[in-house]
Structure 1
């Protein structure tokens, strides 16, 4: 709806009121929605993976490394 009023010189001024969303606001809402969906989806996948996947296996320590660590600590390696 247009508002109509007269200014000080009795000129009729018609002021258009833009109702609706600004295109920049629409882009902002769409981008924010996609970001929110992305983070919620990642969190859901993370929770699902924590529940269903087995814990990661540690790499086996080689006998050579174990012997070196024992010597560093001052304890003789077993079997020697």
Structure 2
């Protein structure tokens, strides 16, 4: 049960944050598009979407988890490309 909750918590955070703020909705769209593109090895598209999501995440309150989540996905992209080891 705990594993199931851990699986759905990030999605619930994204949905809860996106319902009241247009910036949050835009972040969610770019973040999800970036993750989808990364999963399909469309790296240029993933980088563009995640970079836009990171710019939006910078506008949220300090320590908002969306910033670190987005930065982590960008780092994963660079690792997959062999740019970071």
Richer in helix (by share): 2
Taking CA–CA contacts closer than 8 Å with sequence separation of 6 or more, which of the two structures ends up with the larger relative contact order? 2
Task: Please identify the structure whose Cα radius of gyration is greater.
Answer: 1
